[in-house]
Structure 1
Amino acid sequence: MKFEKKTQPLANRSLFLLRILKYWSISTAMIIFSLSLGVVGYRHFGHLSWIDSLLNASMILTGMGPVDRMATNAGKLFASFYALFSGVVFLGATAVLLSPVYHRVLHRFHLLDDGEEQT
């Protein structure tokens, strides 16, 4: 589902809502994949239980910080790289989620600049 070009009319509401659903799905898939990667990593490298791994991965992914300290060097290295990875993924997923809305607003501004009234 590509975005319309600046010379094309604004997409209708149903297409816009489908586009939001598609990009929400992509964003959700990015978050679920990243969370799964973190859970498995904390379980393997940090020797944490599944629920503690989920808690740590969730807290890191949302930017709130770790809960448990890592006892091994491998766990500490994983936590460091996962924190960096999570920051990028969270911002990327947010950008994907909001891109249809930003595009629609900017496209509408462009149409208004050209003197075309679109709803």
Structure 2
Amino acid sequence: MWERRSDALAPRRVFLRRVGRNLLAALVVVAVSLGIGMLGYHHYARLGWADAYVNAAMILSGMGPLATPVTLGAKLFAGTYALYCGLLVVFLAGVLLAPFAHRLLHRFHLDREAGKRAP
């Protein structure tokens, strides 16, 4: 999937395909996570679908919930979902930045190798 140290830098279209694939994967994970949050808020906090969507989206975006959970189940779900979303942001940042970081590091490595061979 990624070029090795001895390989040439991947063409721009290959790089953009990697970026697109990682972006698509991140969007799928966000959509699934939003769906899980909506189901949890609907079930545990007894919110309607629109309110469940807003609360899940606000937690997922890092803004915080709109409705305060009242029952123990709702509080446990809201806390667990908030922790999950916080870790998800870090994970997805890595997924989205990985192609850029790899390309940058590979380019630096190629520049260094070229400098060693030059007379």
Residue in structure 2 matched with residue 63 of structure 1 by the alignment: 62
SS in 1 for 2:114: coil
5 Å-filtered alignment, 1:1-119, equals 2-115=1-114
- What percentage of aligned pairs have identical amino acids? 40
> Shift in Å at residue 90 of structure 1?
1.6
Residues 13-40 of structure 1 show CA distances to partners (whole Å, capped at 9, x for unaligned) of 1111111111111111111111110010
How far did residue 6 of structure 1 move?
1.2
**1: CA distance between counterparts of 2:63 and 2:88?**
15
Structure of larger gyration radius: 2
Task: Name the structure where helix makes up a greater proportion of residues.
Answer: 2
Report deviation, 1:88.
Answer: 0.9
- Runs of 4 or more consecutive aligned structure 1 residues displaced over 2 Å after TM superposition: none
Normalised TM-score (structure 1) = 0.93
Q: Which runs of 5+ in 1 are unaligned?
A: none
Give the root-mean-square deviation of aligned CA atoms.
1.0
Stretches of structure 2 lacking an aligned partner (at least 5 in a row):
none
Contact 1:19–1:100 (CA under 8 A) maintained in structure 2: yes
